[in-house]
């Protein structure tokens, strides 16, 4: 087993990985930017090194600085968390070349799945259903027009290197195809330095259902059930739950099997997620694979009882999976709410600054993953995730009630947060019935915000 792991990340996930290391008797070494001097992960760690200025490109994406710290401190592995360098295949390779294990899949697998057009083609060959769309990349608006005519409108223009919902455009009107194609391509070039595009049929009002998988170096591949991540704003997840109300046992088994097939086809190793959209007729289609630990992983941890970061570390150290598929038992219901430092009443504008008083919820079945502490400063340079509240209960309704009371207990003085909005979502009759899709938030935002303003819960 590793002796010392460098955690190449910040915020709640740095704390999350730190805790797993401590429990495994591995020394965590953390790094931080100048804006994060007072961050929780820095305060917890005995070994913390500044790797550069606030700007991510100068610090958390600074491969040279990170590898230098890892080597100088004698780390034998690096955990990249999510975001930053976690899905950078060249970074994974650079770690291996420096004799340091990268806690994630091999670089070539990251690259193969990182090109979503190529991943789509691979899955199609493996017999995993994909959304009808282009065979490979689409290089011009003209070609896009041909593909769209063949698959039928509406279509979705997507960036092969895409992430975070960027470089994506919905097209309902053929007249709009050419201008939107150019717009999406420019956005992809600006965001990812890669303007490769492809086309999919736009599935109307789908659910976003993803499966957690684990794969070791010895041919072991298991799936740990699904997460329903359909509560999204602008393609960004806000609330996730497992199990999904949309799946029957038969559909769950079929999708789980497809997820395992997908992971095997990718030659996968470590923790990963197979994302699907599920249409109104219960047909499911692969959309992409995420080759990292995800923000919403605790939802799965609570229903399967496995520590996924611990599993990641064990796999990277060459150990076999600690459980086989038949030993996986999914119990009860889990929900996660992402508490973001943003102001829903003012167009979700970011709300960095200093936290004053802080009270985090607790009690039976409640977990909070966060880098917050009273008086901490939230820098403006990074994403807006402040905390994740995750609850577990025997049934979905009990989990909803537990989440409502947890959010009622949460007090963050200072920056604006989306807590109230999440609380209102948990009171919306369609949510309570489990009757929602990726259009839910946009469709109900006005009424949810009005409920926030009124200081009263909606219905139910
Ligand atoms: P990103 O990597 O940018 O997050 P994804 O391919 O994962 O992009 O898609 C993000 C979200 O967009 C999904 O969660 C889903 O809600 C929606 N989406 C993706 N593909 C389709 C599709 N073909 N039809 C309808 N919605 C889609």
Nearest-10 crossing angle of helices 308-316, 297-304: 100
For residues 270 and 317, is the Cβ–Cβ distance under 8 A?
no
For 321, which DSSP code? P
Nearest-10 crossing angle of helices 308-316, 11-23: 70
User: Can you give the length of the chain in residues?
Assistant: 460
Q: Give the containing element (helix H, strand E) for 412.
A: strand 411-412
Residue 331 appears among annotated catalytic residues: no
Tokens (6 digits) for 118: 């190529």
Rounded mean pLDDT for each run of 10 residues along the chain, 460 residues in total: 98 98 98 98 98 97 98 98 97 98 98 96 97 95 96 97 92 97 96 95 98 98 98 96 98 98 98 98 98 98 98 98 98 98 96 97 98 97 97 98 98 98 98 98 97 71
Nearest-10 crossing angle of helices 249-265, 116-125: 110
Residue 241 main-chain phi, psi, to 5 deg: -145, 160
Task: Please choose from 277, 383, 441 the residue to mutate so as to test ligand 1's pocket, defined by most ligand atoms within 8 A of CB.
Answer: 277
Catalytic hit among 185, 292, 338, 402? 292
C-alpha distances out from residue 339 to 202, 292, 330, 387, Å? 29, 21, 26, 5
Task: Please choose from 155, 165, 230, 283 the residue to mutate so as to test ligand 1's pocket, defined by most ligand atoms within 8 A of CB.
Answer: 165
Question: Which atom of ligand 1 is found nearest the CA of 167?
Answer: 3
Quote the distance between the C-alpha of residue 241 and its chain's center: 13
Q: How far is the CA of 166 from the centre of ligand 1 (A)?
A: 10
Question: Interior CA angle at 414 toward 413 and 419, to 5°?
Answer: 65
Q: Tell whether ligand 1 has an atom less than 6 A from the beta carbon of residue 165.
A: yes
Q: How far is the CA of 6 from the centre of ligand 1 (A)?
A: 32
For residues 240 and 299, is the Cβ–Cβ distance under 8 A?
yes
Task: Please choose from 151, 235, 443 the residue to mutate so as to test ligand 1's pocket, defined by most ligand atoms within 8 A of CB.
Answer: 235
Q: Tell whether ligand 1 has an atom less than 6 A from the beta carbon of residue 277.
A: yes
Q: DSSP readout, 174-210?
A: HHHHHHHHHHHHHHHHHHHS---EEEEEPPSS-EEEE
Question: Which atom of ligand 1 is found nearest the CA of 201?
Answer: 23
pLDDT at res. 326: 98
pTM, two decimals, is: 0.97
Distance CA 277, CA 52 (A): 40
- Which one, of 301, 132, 273, lies nearest residue 208 by Cα? 273
Q: How far is the CA of 363 from the centre of ligand 1 (A)?
A: 35
Question: Residue 237 class from Cβ within 10 Å (0-12 exposed, 13-18 middle, 19+ buried)?
Answer: buried
Quote the distance between the C-alpha of residue 206 and its chain's center: 18
Q: Tell whether ligand 1 has an atom less than 6 A from the beta carbon of residue 235.
A: yes
Q: Tell whether ligand 1 has an atom less than 6 A from the beta carbon of residue 237.
A: no
């Amino acid at each position: 087993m590793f002796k010392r792991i460098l955690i190449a990340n910040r915020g709640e996930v740095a704390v999350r990985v730190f805790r797993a290391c401590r429990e495994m008797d591995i020394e965590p070494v953390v790094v931080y930017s100048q804006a994060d001097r007072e961050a929780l992960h820095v305060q917890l760690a005995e070994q913390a090194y500044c790797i550069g200025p606030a700007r991510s490109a100068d610090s958390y994406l600074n491969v040279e600085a990170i590898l230098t710290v890892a080597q100088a401190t004698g780390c034998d592995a690096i955990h990249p968390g999510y975001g930053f360098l976690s899905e950078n295949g060249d970074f994974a390779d650079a770690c291996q070349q420096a004799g340091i294990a990268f806690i994630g899949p091999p670089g070539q697998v990251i690259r193969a799945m990182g090109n979503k057009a190529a991943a789509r083609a691979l899955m199609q060959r493996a017999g995993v259903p994909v959304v009808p769309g282009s065979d490979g990349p689409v290089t011009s608006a003209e070609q896009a027009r041909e593909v769209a005519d063949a698959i039928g409108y509406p279509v979705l223009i997507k960036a092969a290197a895409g992430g975070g919902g960027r470089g994506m455009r919905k097209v309902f009107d053929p007249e709009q195809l050419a201008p939107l194609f150019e717009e999406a391509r420019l956005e992809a070039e600006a965001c990812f330095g890669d303007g490769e595009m492809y086309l999919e049929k736009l599935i109307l009002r789908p659910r976003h259902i993803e499966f957690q998988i684990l794969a070791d170096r010895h041919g072991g591949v298991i799936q740990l059930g699904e997460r329903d991540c359909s509560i999204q704003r602008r393609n960004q997840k806000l609330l996730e739950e497992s199990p999904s109300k949309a799946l029957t046992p038969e559909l769950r088994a079929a999708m789980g099997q497809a997820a395992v097939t997908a992971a095997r086809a990718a030659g996968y190793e470590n923790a990963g997620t197979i994302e699907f959209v599920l249409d109104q007729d219960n047909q499911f289609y692969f959309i992409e694979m995420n080759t990292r630990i995800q923000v919403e992983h605790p939802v799965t941890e609570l229903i399967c009882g496995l520590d996924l970061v611990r599993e990641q570390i064990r796999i990277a150290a060459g150990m076999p999976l600690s459980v086989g598929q038949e030993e996986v038992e999914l119990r009860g219901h889990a929900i996660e709410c992402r508490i973001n430092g943003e102001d829903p009443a003012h167009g979700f504008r970011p709300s960095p600054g200093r936290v004053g008083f802080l009270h985090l919820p607790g009690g039976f079945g409640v977990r909070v993953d966060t880098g917050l502490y009273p008086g901490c400063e939230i820098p403006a340079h990074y994403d807006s995730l402040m905390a994740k509240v995750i609850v577990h209960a025997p049934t979905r309704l009990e989990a909803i009630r537990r989440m409502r009371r947890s959010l009622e207990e949460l007090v963050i003085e200072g920056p604006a947060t989306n807590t109230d909005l999440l609380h209102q979502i948990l009171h919306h009759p369609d949510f309570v019935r489990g009757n929602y899709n990726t259009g839910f938030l946009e469709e109900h935002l006005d009424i949810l915000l009005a409920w926030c303003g009124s200081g009263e819960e909606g219905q139910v």
